[in-house]
Amino acid sequence: MPDQYTFTNPVDQYRTDGYPEQGIAEPGLESELEVRADHGEDTYRGTGRLEGRKALVTGADSGIGRAAAIAYAREGADVVLNYLPEEQSDAEAVAQLVRDAGRKAVLAPADLSVESEARQLVRTAVEELGGLDAIVLVAGKQVWVDDLADLTSEQFDATFKTNVYSVFWVVQEAVPHLPAGSTIVTTSSIQAYSPAPGLVDYATTKAAINTISKALAQQLAPKGIRVNVVAPGPFWTPLQASGGQPPENLPEFGKETPLGRAGQPAELAGAYVYLASAESGYTVGETLNVNGGMPTP
Ligand code: NAD
Ligand code: MG
C-alpha cells in the first residue's frame, strides 16, 4: 500500500493504467467507482498538527474532501462534514473514519449553491463544534460540455453558485466566528490556467476562486485569519466519472502530466493539512499547485 512517508518513485507510486470508461450520475458516489480511490484510509499518520482544531470541510464525503477530512481528524481536529443529501452513504463512511480517529464528526448535508443553506451550514458548524477555526472549501461542480451551443445558462449559473458564490457566502458568514489563527483553504484547479475545451464554465470558476481567495487573504490577514488555495491537477475522484470528463477520456486521464499518471486524493492530504497548521503561519494568499508537474503561472 503506497503511503506518503516512504522514499519512492512518484512515477509509479500509484495506478498508472488509466481508469475504466465509466459514466455515473452526478454528483457521483465513491462507492460506485469501479476503481476505488485512495484517500489515505489505511495510511495517513497524524502527528498532532491540528490538535483541538474545529474544522468545516465541504465536499467531505468523497474524493479530495474525504482525504482532507480523514487527515484533519487524524491530526486532532473535530470535523463538520458537508456534502449533498444524495451522498449520505459516502458521508457516513467518512464520519466513521473520523470517529475511529477519536474525533467528533458532524454530518451536515447542505446544497452550497443555495445561499440560505450555505449560511446555515456555518451556523450549524459553530453550534455543533462550539466554534470554528478551520474552513476547508473543497466542494465543486464540474460538468463537461463538448459544444458551447449546448452549455446552458442553468449549468453556467449552477457551476458559479456552487464553486464561487459559496466561497463568498461561507466565508462572509464565518468570519465573525473565527478567532485569530484561523485558516481558510479553498480549492482551485490546473483548469484555472490551462482550461480544457469542454470546461468553459468550470475553468472560469476556478480562476475566480484563485482571485477571490487572494483578495480575501489581503483583507483577513490583519485579523490573523489566513486564506490559501490548493490547485489540484488530475485526481481520480467521482467528479471525473460523473460527467467531469467524457467517459472516453478516462482511460488516458492524468497521463498528460509529467509524472504520467493521475493523482490519488491521499496525495493532497498533506497540502490541506500544511495550509491549516501553524507551520504555514507566514504563508498567506498562496496557491499550492499539486498537479504532477504541469507548469503554472
Ligand atoms: P468529488 O466528486 O469527490 O467531490 C466534489 C464534491 O462537491 C461532492 O462530493 C459534493 O459533495 C460536493 N458538491 C458538489 N455540488 C455541491 C453543492 N451544490 N452543494 C454542496 N456540495 C456540493 O470530486 P473531487 O475531485 O474530490 O472534487 C473536489 C474539489 O476538487 C472540487 O472543487 C474540484 O473542482 C476540485 N478539483 C478536482 C480535480 C480532480 O481532478 N479531481 C482537479 C482540480 C480540482
Ligand atoms: Mg461526493
* Residue in 80, 67, 73, 94 with CA at minimum distance from that of residue 4: 67
What CA–CA distances, in Å, run from 287 to 52, 232, 269? 26, 10, 15
Residue with cell 490559501: 228
Distance CA 24, CA 253 (A): 16
Check residue 147 and give its pLDDT.
98
Helix, strand or coil, per DSSP, at residue 48: coil
What is the value of pTM for the model shown? Answer: 0.99
Check residue 1 and give its pLDDT.
85
Check residue 22 and give its pLDDT.
93
Distance CA 60, CA 75 (A): 16
Which residues does ligand 1 sit against, CB inside 6 Å? Answer: 27-28, 58-59, 61-65, 83-84, 87, 111-113, 138-142, 162, 187, 189, 232, 234-235, 237-240
Check residue 93 and give its pLDDT.
98
Distance CA 268, CA 187 (A): 11
Domains by residue range for the chain, with CATH: 40-290 (3.40.50.720)
Check residue 56 and give its pLDDT.
99
Distance CA 257, CA 286 (A): 22
Q: What is the DSSP string of 76-94?
A: T-EEEEEE-GGGHHHHHHH
Which ligand has an atom closest to residue 244 CA? Answer: 1
| Geometric angle at alpha carbon 54, from 135 and 101, rounded to 5° | 115
Distance CA 46, CA 43 (A): 10
What spacing in Å lies between the alpha carbon of 222 and ligand 1's midpoint? 30
Q: What count of residues does the chain have?
A: 297
- pLDDT tens digits for the chain (297 residues)? 899 999 999 999 999 999 999 999 999 999 999 999 999 999 999 999 999 999 999 999 999 999 999 999 999 999 999 999 999 999 999 999 999 999 999 999 999 999 999 999 999 999 999 999 999 999 999 999 999 999 999 999 999 999 999 999 999 999 999 999 999 999 999 999 999 999 999 999 999 999 999 999 999 999 999 999 999 999 999 999 999 999 999 999 999 999 999 999 999 999 999 999 999 999 999 999 999 999 999
Phi-psi region of 123 (alpha: psi -120 to 50; beta: other; left: phi over 0): alpha
